[in-house]
Structure 1
Amino acid sequence: MDFRIFTEPQQGATYDDLLAVARTTEDAGFDGFFRSDHFLHMSGDGAPGPTDAWITLAGLARDTSRIRLGTLVTAATFRLPAPLAIQVAGVDQMSGGRVEMGLGAGWFEAEHTAYGIPFPDVKERFDRFEEQLAVITGLWTTPRGETFDHDGSHYPIVDAPGLGAPDHRGGIPIIIGGTGKRRTPELAARYASEFNSVFRPADETRDLYARVRAACEDRHRDPDELTLSAANVVCLGNDDATLRRRAEAISRDVDELRASGFAGSSDEIVDKIGRFTEVGTTRFYLQVLDLGDLDHIEEFAATVVPQLP
């Protein structure tokens, strides 16, 4: 079981804010630091403004030494797949092989409108997503000295030099998540090293895992090759005042957080995580929304993690 800190910088964060969180994450013993890949805030004003996910991760690749780094998740609508493959491979090399990439079809229409990014219908987004996965993994797994071609309707590729990542046999790990009943499990079974359940209770997470494991079996892939993970907001408080203060800092209700997230006392959170481990979760992404509360991260590491296997 491992734990990763997951941030939402579009809500308002500078690079220095992210660096402070990433270094606290590393010092506290967590396995990784991940960030969303969004340009538009979803509440508040997002000040001081957006940052680019892969530019900031490139900085963190040099400013940290141990933790895994990545996105949860990059939208396939944001970037052309071949340049994205080059970007991510470069950040991976800069980190010494510590990068993983979450990739999704894209969903936040207002964000696309705000920044002039085309937002096709859901079928086309998934078609593009599937083709991006083929291009990115194809480039990463083509040996150096050879070229890659892809006869695609959206992203045709001709004689592109391979980008075989030296620190990852088979390419950089890809994370796929979502609640789709057919294409999402199929794509995870085909391309992913990890399947992620995002903001879902344990019983729904169990059903998502079952679908993706069945898709692996349909492809004659061992389902146990796929890491099963879950992401949820964290709000730890071992007394009522601390819990209420941390909930208010992220504009959330304590009772709602207790019902839907990893919230409450250390013992309560251990119990909630236990329900996820029972359905097969072995990796947890802890969504930390107040990036100024570094004590929150340290307290979770000191009071929750030691109680877990």
Structure 2
Amino acid sequence: MTARVCVFTEPHRGADYEDQLRFAQLVEACGFEGFFRADHYQAMGADPGLPGPTDAWLTLGALARETSRIRLGTLVTSATFRLPGPLAVTVAQVDRMSGGRVELGLGAGWYEREHTSYGIPFPPAPERFDRLEEQLAVITGLWRTPAGEHFSHHGHHYQLLDAPALPKPVQVPGPPIIVGGRGPKRTPQLAARYADEFNMPFKSVAETARAYRRIAEACERTGRADSGRPPLVLSTGVVVAIGHTDAEAQRRAAPLHVKSALPPEDPVIGSPAQLVDRLGEFSAIGAGRFHLRLIDFTDLDHLELIAGEVLPQL
């Protein structure tokens, strides 16, 4: 199989900018396609995640100037964190700073605790999805507005009047948008209408296959195939803890056993061959891109093991 393999990280577990810079530059040197990071302001377990959070888009803007090839993005930015107009400006600016290497993962938000901690409003789920839908409409509308023209949006949650729709991103009509998640109804609909990629995070092959079928049905209902737009890229997130030996793999998997607010996951714990086999299973159900979640920013050997013994087999 031919696979696009990215690395996904969670700096809120404990990583400063220098940790992320070192890791992202090694991701590039090792031949991975991209470096993606979570957009959270708080760790999800008892450990506070020292030294504390780093802002996703501030960090990606800096990494854009310190890398030259890899794709950079979020999985995913929460629609509750930022207004859509300023977010469109921010992402377009980072796209320009990177020379056109940015991708925007955008979701409704789910972790109430970080909202409470930092004074961010956390409306009920239906409203969060309504806001997400409007944000997708506003962001894509701003990016696609021709230079010299203005963009307006009269929505329930957001109103924009005669926005100059600047700056323009390098990528046309805009940076790829990733929509993902386990939601059975609105998530597939939003992905079919607005996204370039649908991501199913950290679930089994069977659960992911069901999600992909829902996406295919949503694309058919919305007429995406007849619209002239490219087909959705299907991707999956895979939690990874592999090693040369079982003991090494189990050591890397130890953080996965700590109680967390995260939903249940289906990690690959074992050998490089087991990871190759799992990615092959995902590829067989239609996945064309993989986001490998690595836990420890200081474990550079883990990254090099995957680059040396997994990537060549894909």
TM-score tier (shorter): over 0.9
Deviations 1:17-73 (A, max 9, x none): 000110010000000000000001112121111110000000000000000000000
Q: Which residue of 2 aligns with 1:78?
A: 81
1:238 shift after superposition: 2.3
Tell me, in whole angstroms, the C-alpha distance in 2 between the residues paired with 1:212 and 1:36: 23
Length-normalised TM-score, structure 2: 0.93
1:247 shift after superposition: 1.9
Alignment of 1:81-160 (within 5 A): 81-160=84-163
Tell me, in whole angstroms, the C-alpha distance in 2 between the residues paired with 1:37 and 1:103: 10
Any conservation in 1 of the 2:95–2:171 contact (CA below 8 Å)?
no
- 2:49 aligns with one of 29, 46, 51: 46
Q: Which residue of 1 aligns with 2:278?
A: 272
Look up the SS of the partner of 1:158 in the other structure.
strand
1:163 shift after superposition: 3.4
- 2:257 aligns with one of 242, 248, 252: 252
Any conservation in 2 of the 1:74–1:102 contact (CA below 8 Å)?
yes
Alignment of 1:1-309 (within 5 A): 1-43=3-45, 44-163=47-166, 165-222=168-225, 225-248=231-254, 250-252=255-257, 260-308=266-314
Tell me, in whole angstroms, the C-alpha distance in 2 between the residues paired with 1:4 and 1:213: 24
1:148 shift after superposition: 0.2
1:304 shift after superposition: 0.9
Tell me, in whole angstroms, the C-alpha distance in 1 between the residues paired with 2:90 and 2:102: 11
Deviations 1:262-299 (A, max 9, x none): 22101111111111111101101011111100111111
Instruction: State the superposition RMSD in angstroms.
Output: 1.4
1:74 shift after superposition: 0.2
Tell me, in whole angstroms, the C-alpha distance in 2 between the residues paired with 1:291 and 1:183: 34
Shifted more, 236-245 versus 193-202: the winner is 236-245
1:164 shift after superposition: 6.7
Deviations 1:189-208 (A, max 9, x none): 00000000011101110111
Q: Structure 1: which 5+ runs fail to align?
A: 254-258
Q: Any runs of at least 4 consecutive aligned residues in structure 1 with deviations exceeding 4 A, and if so which? A: none
Length-normalised TM-score, structure 1: 0.95
Q: Which residue of 1 aligns with 2:261?
A: none
1:78 shift after superposition: 0.4
Any conservation in 2 of the 1:141–1:163 contact (CA below 8 Å)?
no
Look up the SS of the partner of 1:260 in the other structure.
coil
Tell me, in whole angstroms, the C-alpha distance in 1 between the residues paired with 2:211 and 2:167: 31
Q: Structure 2: which 5+ runs fail to align?
A: 259-264
Shifted more, 168-177 versus 111-120: the winner is 168-177
1:116 shift after superposition: 0.5
Tell me, in whole angstroms, the C-alpha distance in 2 between the residues paired with 1:151 and 1:116: 27
Tell me, in whole angstroms, the C-alpha distance in 2 between the residues paired with 1:202 and 1:138: 35
Deviations 1:224-277 (A, max 9, x none): 6110000021111121221122223x2538xxxxx9212210111111111111
Look up the SS of the partner of 2:224 in the other structure.
coil
Any conservation in 2 of the 1:143–1:163 contact (CA below 8 Å)?
no
Any conservation in 2 of the 1:174–1:192 contact (CA below 8 Å)?
yes
